[in-house]
Every structure is written in structure tokens, then in C-alpha cells.
Chain A
Amino acid sequence: MTRYDKQVAIVGAAETTELGVIPDMSQLQLHADAALNALADAGLKPSDIDGVATAGESPTTIAHYLGITPNWVDGTAVGGCSFMIHVRHAVAALLTGQCHTVLITHGESGKSGIGRGRGRGNATSLQGQFEAPFGVVGPPTMFTLPVLRYMKRYGLTHEQLAMVAVVQRQWAGMNPRASKREPITVEDVLSSRMIAYPFHLLECCLVTDGGGALILTTADRAGDFPQPPVYVWGTGESVETPMVSQMADLTSSRAFAVAGPRAMSDAGISHSDVDHLMIYDAFAHLPIYGLEDLGFCGRGEAGAFIEEGHTAPGGELPLNTNGGGLSYMHSGMYGMYALQESVRQLRGTAPAQVEGAEVSVCLGVGGMFGASGCVVMGSQPKA
């Protein structure tokens, strides 16, 4: 028996109509396009929604734009895992009766930059004072910083790091909506343009436009909607540091190691129960850190685990089956797309469907190893 009598289900899920390069749509409209698609998926109208959560835009803006009068909002914005954390907060709100039907939206004109405010760096912030002066230019020069230490400590090879991108491209090749689908080899990855040593272009995420939205309600209502419900079994969240230079351990994400195991224990599952796994892959080392921080692999073992094909099509632990941020899409805050793929897998509607997938773990990252949210979902209610 769980701590709650009731459970929460995802009853609507959709991405924007288009993904990739969408020059004719503002960031706000990407939120709305995804929201309208999710509402249609659930057979609901905006007036049926009484809870709104979002990141990247204010929930005030989203509610006003969609014509929603919420009595619950959540604007938690800690980067790309914010949407996993919104799910966790929505579960608490729904189970305590603060609201009845929650809409979580994401939209990001990451490639085209339409209707997207460009935040200026704050020179008084901790990052502004103690990282920005040293030549960092965006995530490729920050998120990547820990990996040489990991490689020295555990012997991870450049070829193993490249293999992460190769395997995810195998999954993307099965997905018509993936931005990059042509097969690639380790040699292709290692001969692609150097972005920030040791990371080559193909080890860095895509930069695209898109969005996604989820609708959650209590499980007692889940049968009232047209799609098979996906049940939220467990959730976790944490934050570590706004500065990658201040990670406690350069070879492990403390936020992963808090949020992930919490979600799995909340769900009452062990590693062998997991049929499908999503680990937010802004760069090729993230699935390696995630597999170890979640406990699927011992320290230093995840590179070989991926290289041996265990996470590839046909392997026993299908990972990032949409192609991931490396090959499917990455608008900047990718977490929503990982959640969408977990929902598709548990509905049985994924392009690269894992046969019989009943339990999915979805681990997100925010900032540069700054935050994490994790959601465990099941195709049936939690026992």
C-alpha cells in the first residue's frame, strides 16, 4: 500500500504539430500549439483545466493566452527538468484536492529564436562573477567540463563516449519525427567538428524548435478519457549548484543521485522492474552519469554497458528510444520530450516501440548538472 489512497494519471500528452525548424511560430505559440494538441488528445477544453504549470514562460502568460482561470499554478523553472518537477508538484496538488486537472506546457523557439527573450548575463550573480569571465560560451563549454575527470578516474574512452551518440542514432533511425536519422559510426562521431574538446559536434545536442504538453488528473477519472492512461508511480526532485565548477563530485550528479532513487523508491520498484528508460542527454556523457547515479550500473561501468549494446535496440534496457536530445530534438529544455516518449512507450504508440513496456523511468537534468527531476510511470495503476 502506498502513502496515498489515490493515484494520478497522465490522460493527455502531445508535442507540437511540427518539430525541428519552425520559423513561423513564436515561443508562446509553441506552448499553445502543444497545449491544444494535448487538450484534443484528452478530449478536453481549456475551461476544463484548473491547474497550470510551465517553465520558460510564466504560468500567468500561459493561462491568459489559453483562456484558463486556474486555482493552482507552478512556475518552477530550474532548466530542462522543470517539467518532471511540475509532474511531481502536480501529483501533490491533485492528491490534496488543490485542483483537479493540471496542464503542463513547454514551448521553445530554440533554433529560430522567434518571440524569445534573450536574457543578458547578470554580472553580479555567482556565475557572472566566477565563471563567465573565463570564456564560457553556453552549455557546450560548461556541461562538458567534468568529463575529462570522469575519463581519467574510470578509464572511459573517447570511443565509448562517441558510442552513446551512435546508439541513440540507431533509435532515431526508427523514428520518422527525429531530426537526424541517418546511421552514424564511432568514426563519424570522432571525425565530426570539435566543439569543446573532448566533445565533437555529434556528441552535442541538436538545437531545434518545438514544444510539448501533458494533462494530469486523479486516477479515479482516468477511464473517462479517450487515450490509455499512464500512471505516475513515483517522483523525485533535487538541485545541487548553479555553477558546474562547484559540483561536489565531477564524476557524479548529486541531483541525479537524490531525485532518481527517490522516484524509484516512491514507485516501489527495483532496477529489474524497469522496461524503458529515458535519461536527458544534452551531451553524450549524461546517459553515462545517469545510468550510474540511478544505480543501473556501478561506478565507471556505464560506458562499457552502452558500448556492449545493452541500451540499444534489442538490448535489455532500452534507453532514449526517441533518439534523445542528440538525434530526436533539443529545443533547450528537453525534459518535456523525454516525458512524451515515456508516455508513448507506455501507451504502446512509440515509433520504436519496446514490446510489453509497462514501467518507464524518466530522468531529467536542469542547468549544467544543476537540478534534476525524475518520474516513474506505469501502464497500470501502482499495485
Chain B
Amino acid sequence: MSGSRPLPEPTPETQHFWDGTRAGELRLQRCDDCAHVYFPPRPFCPACASRSVSVFAASGRARLDSYVINHRPHPAFEGHYAIALVELEEGPRMMSNIVSCEQTPEALVLDMPLEVTFEPQNDSITLPLFRPAAEGSKT
């Protein structure tokens, strides 16, 4: 990293997510009424509108859904880098980056198994990134 990324400013509705990444957990929400699992965070279920929802720690397992490899400069990245969409084992999709992996079409194969890793940016914000799943990990 040669510069800083634009960092999120949590809101009351998302604070639990960012507290989670700082604590090494990828926190999702599940509806207590219809069991729908969703992201990004909000204090109600987007499937059935119930306000009865619970936060839980996701497995951190995911697969590579789609991506682009950006060739234009970004102050926080060196060289070409992938912006990825990952589908979590629990269902929701999120944007992230793939680390510990060459940023090439040959290395970044759609549907490859991934696992979350956490990268602190400062005292309050830690970003969830993903890396190729370790051999033998359950994905």
C-alpha cells in the first residue's frame, strides 16, 4: 500500500459489522422470522420487513463470483489489482479484494474457494479481504 484507501464511516446500523471485522469476525444478519441471511447491514429483514433480526459470525468461506482487474492508478494500490465480488457461503455477495494471489486472469479463476482475512487500516477500521482457501479447508 502506497497510500490509504477511502475508509468507511460506520453508521448506527452498520457499527456491529465494523466492530466485528476489528474483532476478527465477519458478521452477517439473519432474520429471526424467515431465516433470510442478508448484507449490507440494516436493522430489519429486506425479505420480509421483520425488525426481529440477529447478528451472527459468518464462516468466512466464500467463492469468487466475478471481478475486474483495474489498470488505472489508485493511490492505495500498486500495479494492477482486482476488485472482486465474492459470494459468501451463507449466501450474500460482497465487494472485496483478493490477497495472497497473483492479480491475473490466470490466477483468479471464477468460483475458486476463498477465505476471509482481516486487514487493519487504523484503530477503528479493519477491512475484510479474501485469499485463496488453504488446502484442505472445508469449502
A residues neighboring B (CB under 8 Å)? 121, 123-124, 126, 128-137, 140-141, 144-149, 152, 193-199, 243, 245-246, 250
Given contacts A152-B111, A197-B71, A197-B105, 16 further A-B contacts (CB under 8 A): A123-B7, A124-B8, A129-B10, A129-B11, A129-B18, A130-B39, A133-B6, A134-B95, A134-B96, A137-B72, A140-B70, A148-B66, A152-B110, A196-B72, A243-B95, A250-B85
A133→B9 CA distance, assembly (Å)? 11
Digitize B27-47: 1 where CB-to-A-CB distance is under 8 Å, 0 elsewhere.
000000000000110000000
Docked complex Cα distance between A197 and B69 (Å):
5
Known interface pairs A130-B94, A130-B95, A135-B5; A198-B110 also in contact (CB < 8 Å) = no
B97 CB contacts on chain A under 8 angstroms: 134-135
- Report the separation of the CA atoms of residues A215 and B121 in the bound assembly, to the nearest whole angstrom: 52
Does A145 lie within 8 Å of B83, measured CB to CB?
A: yes
A100 CB to nearest B CB, Å: 41
Interface centre among A132, A152, A196 (most CB of B within 10 A): A196
Contact between A129 and B40, CB atoms less than 8 A apart: yes
A195 to B69, CA, bound (A): 8
B40 interface neighbour in A133, A134, A243, Cβ under 8 Å? A243
Is B90's CB within 8 Å of the partner chain A?
no
List, in ascending order, chain A residues with CB within 8 A of B65's CB. 149, 250
Assess the A134–B83 pair: CB atoms within 8 A: yes
CB-CB under 8 A for A133 and B68, given A152-B110, A197-B105: no
Interfacial residues of chain B within 33-92, with CB under 8 A of chain A in the complex: 39-40, 65-72, 74, 76-77, 80-81, 83-85
| Known A245-B95, A246-B40; contact A137-B70, beta-carbon cutoff 8 A | yes
* B75-132 residues at the A interface, CB under 8 angstroms: 76-77, 80-81, 83-85, 93-97, 105, 110-111, 121, 127
In angstroms, how far is the closest chain A Cβ from the Cβ of B1? 11
Q: Report the number of A-B residue pairs with Cβ-Cβ less than 8 Å.
A: 113
Is there an interface contact between B6 and A128, defined as CB atoms closer than 8 Å? yes
The docked-state distance in angstroms from the alpha carbon of A152 to that of B110 is 8
Q: Which residue of B lies closest to A129 (CB)?
A: B8
Q: How far is the CA of A105 from the CA of B65 in the complex (A)?
A: 39
Smallest Cβ distance from A322 to chain B, in angstroms?
27
- A144, chain B: closest CB distance, angstroms: 5
Q: B85 contacts A245, CB within 8 Å?
A: yes
Q: Who on chain B is nearest to A140 by CB? A: B72
Category for how many chain B residues contact A:
35 or more
Q: Which B residues lie at the A interface, using CB under 8 A?
A: 5-11, 14, 18, 39-40, 65-72, 74, 76-77, 80-81, 83-85, 93-97, 105, 110-111, 121, 127
A126–B68 Cα gap in the complex (Å)? 20
**Once the chains are docked, how many angstroms separate the CA of A196 from the CA of B11?**
31
In Å, the complex CA distance between A136 and B105 comes to 18
Majority secondary structure of chain A interface residues (helix, strand, loop or mixed)? mixed
CA of A194 to CA of B80, assembled, Å: 10
- Identify which of A129, A137, A194 contacts B14 (C-beta below 8 A): A129
Q: How far is the CA of A133 from the CA of B94 in the complex (A)?
A: 12
On chain A, the residues within 8 Å of B14 by CB distance are: 129
> In this complex, which of B14, B68, B127 has the most chain A Cβ atoms within 10 angstroms of its Cβ?
B68
Chain A residues with CB under 8 A of B6:
121, 123, 128, 132-133
Interchain CB contact under 8 A, B76 and A135: yes
CA distance A124 to B97 in the complex (A): 20
Indicate if the CB atoms of A124 and B70 lie closer than 8 Å: no
Q: How far is it, in angstroms, between the C-alpha of A134 and the C-alpha of B95 when the chains are bound? A: 7
Give min CB distance, A354 to chain B, whole Å: 34
Shortest B78–chain A CB gap in Å is 11
Assess whether A123 is in contact with B8, with CB atoms less than 8 Å apart: yes
CB distance from B100 to the nearest CB of A (A): 16
> A144, B9: Cβ atoms under 8 Å?
no
> Known contacts A140-B72, A195-B72, A197-B71: does B66 contact A147 (CB below 8 Å)?
yes
Q: Which partner residue on chain B sits nearest A146 by CB separation? A: B66
B8 touches A132 (CB 8 A): yes
Which residues on B sit within 8 Å (CB–CB) of A152? 110-111
Shortest Cβ distance from residue A208 to the other chain B in the assembled complex, whole angstroms: 19
Chain B residue with minimal CB distance to A195? B71
Residue from the set A128, A134, A145 with the largest chain B CB neighbour count within 10 Å: A134
Which residues from B are CB-within-8-Å of A132? 5-6, 8
What are 21 A-to-B residue pairs whose CB atoms are below 8 Å?
A123-B9, A124-B10, A134-B127, A135-B76, A135-B81, A136-B95, A140-B68, A141-B72, A144-B68, A145-B67, A147-B66, A148-B68, A152-B110, A196-B71, A196-B83, A197-B68, A197-B80, A243-B95, A245-B85, A245-B95, A250-B85
CA A146 – CA B77 in complex, angstroms? Answer: 22
